[in-house]
Amino acid sequence: MRTVRRLVDRARRKALTWSGRFRGRLEARAPLDESGSAIVEFLGVTLVLLVPTVYLVLVLGRLQAAAFAAESGAAQAARAFVIADDVAAGERAAVATVRLALEDQGFGGTDAASALMLECSTTPCREPGSTVATRVQVDVPLPFVPDLVRDAVPLSVRVAAEHLAAVDLYAGSR
Q: What is the pLDDT of residue 30?
A: 55
| Phi, psi torsion values for 164, nearest 5 degrees | -120, 125
Please write the tens of the pLDDT for every residue from 5-14.
Answer: 777 777 776 6
Strand, helix or coil for residue 84: coil
User: Per-residue pLDDT for 169 more than 60?
Assistant: yes
| Interacting residues of 62 by C-beta distance below 8 A, sequence separation 6+ | 140, 143
Q: How many CB atoms are located within 10 Å of the residue 119 CB?
A: 12
Q: Alpha-carbon distance 151 to 53, whole Å?
A: 26
* Alpha-carbon span 84 to 82, nearest angstrom: 6
pLDDT digits 0-9 by tens, 41-95: 888 888 888 888 999 999 999 999 999 999 999 999 999 999 998 899 999 999 9
pLDDT in tens, 86-130: 899 999 999 999 999 999 999 999 999 999 999 999 888 888 889
Backbone angles phi, psi at 12, to 5 degrees: -65, -45
